[in-house]
């Protein structure tokens, strides 16, 4: 029934509103999810714990709730596994080398431009001039935040340069997996089949890598606190990535991708509201630019 509802809403005005809501919901959760990847624990450990949690949570759903994938969907799931594994390897490497407050905006700012272009090629989507202006404003605000935070970074220039290169490559992979996942979920007769099995398949690689690293660490983290963070991250990931995938099934891939990258804005707001971080006029202006970009993309969708 839920699958049929998604199929019925796809491409309709109501479906557009639902996709908008899902994309913004995913952005809020992704801001929290991103922060979990860089903090108390090594990012490889955190990502491994997160992935094993969401794979185990979704395994019963995949086995007993949704229809079995067709041979073609299994092939698409295999491609998704490869793309996401490369993405997570690049992301963890970037977080290991650079400040999260610099790396995260660069990753999220690179994705929208490439995704919008890729969606035009793969799905024939078009953006109006006003929407392109919105993309430019949002991307400029995100990269502006990265530059602002770069000025406050304490890491050496050599390591930061490596982190920035890795962050740019990670952003390219964000665009790649966003477009590919949208193609995969649109190719499945039941969108929740692709979703459920995606989390199972995607949760294989990083736990194995994390386990090897854990054994080789001189002072490995305690399993209890690590798995608690993994539990939080896994549940958030299911809601966040699941929401954005459904948004790309219901409406334009490019619009959903752009709106999701307001996660950088929400990350800054979380830091201000809950962590008592200082915003300042420049940072506030950049946050406003991100919000303006999202608004212009949405207005352009209605008048374009």
Of 283, 258, 253, the closest CA to residue 141 belongs to 283
- Each residue's pLDDT tens digit, 128-177: 999 999 999 999 999 998 888 888 777 778 888 898 999 999 999 999 99
- Each residue's pLDDT tens digit, 220-249: 888 888 889 899 999 999 999 999 999 999
Q: Taken in order 289, 292, 297, 303, is the CA torsion positive or negative?
A: negative
Provide the pLDDT confidence category of residue 22 given band limits of 50, 70 and 90. very high
Task: Tell me the residue range of the domain where 242 lies.
Answer: 2-303
> What angle in degrees, to the nearest 10, is found between the helix axes of 223-250 and 2-9?
50
Gap between the Cα atoms of 266 and 220, Å rounded: 32
Torsion angles phi and psi, residue 99, rounded to 5: -65, 135
pTM over 0.75: yes
The CB density around residue 82, as the number of other CB atoms within 10 Å, is 13
- Each residue's pLDDT tens digit, 175-234: 999 999 999 999 999 999 999 999 999 999 999 998 998 888 888 888 888 889 899 999
Number of domains in the chain: 1
Instruction: Report, as an integer, the average pLDDT of 57-79.
Output: 97
């Amino acid at each position: 029934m839920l699958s049929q509802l998604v199929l019925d809403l796809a491409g309709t005005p109501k479906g557009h509103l639902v996709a908008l809501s899902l994309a913004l919901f995913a952005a809020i959760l992704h801001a929290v999810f991103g922060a979990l990847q860089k903090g108390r624990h090594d990012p490889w450990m955190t990502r491994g714990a997160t992935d094993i949690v969401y794979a185990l949570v979704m395994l019963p759903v995949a086995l007993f709730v949704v229809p079995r994938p067709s041979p073609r969907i299994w092939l698409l799931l295999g491609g998704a596994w490869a793309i996401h594994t490369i993405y997570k390897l690049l992301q963890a490497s970037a977080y290991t080398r650079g400040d999260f407050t610099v790396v995260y905006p660069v990753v999220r700012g690179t994705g929208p431009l490439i995704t919008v272009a890729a969606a035009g090629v793969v799905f024939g989507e078009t953006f109006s001039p006003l929407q392109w202006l919105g993309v430019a404003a949002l991307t400029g605000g995100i990269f502006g935040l990265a530059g602002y935070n770069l000025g406050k970074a304490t890491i050496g220039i050599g390591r930061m340069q490596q982190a920035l290169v890795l962050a740019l490559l990670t952003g390219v992979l964000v665009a790649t997996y966003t477009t590919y996942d949208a193609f995969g979920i649109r190719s499945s007769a039941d969108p929740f089949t692709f979703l459920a099995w995606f989390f199972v398949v995607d949760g294989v690689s990083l736990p194995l890598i994390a386990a090897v690293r854990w054994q080789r660490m001189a002072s490995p983290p305690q399993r209890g606190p690590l798995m608690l963070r993994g539990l939080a991250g896994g549940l958030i990931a299911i809601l966040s990535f699941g929401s954005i995938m459904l948004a790309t099934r219901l409406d334009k891939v490019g619009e959903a991708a752009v709106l999701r990258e307001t996660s950088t804005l929400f990350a800054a707001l979380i830091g201000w509201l809950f962590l008592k971080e200082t915003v300042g006029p420049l940072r506030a202006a950049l946050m406003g630019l991100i919000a303006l970009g999202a608004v212009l993309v949405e207005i352009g969708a209605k008048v374009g």
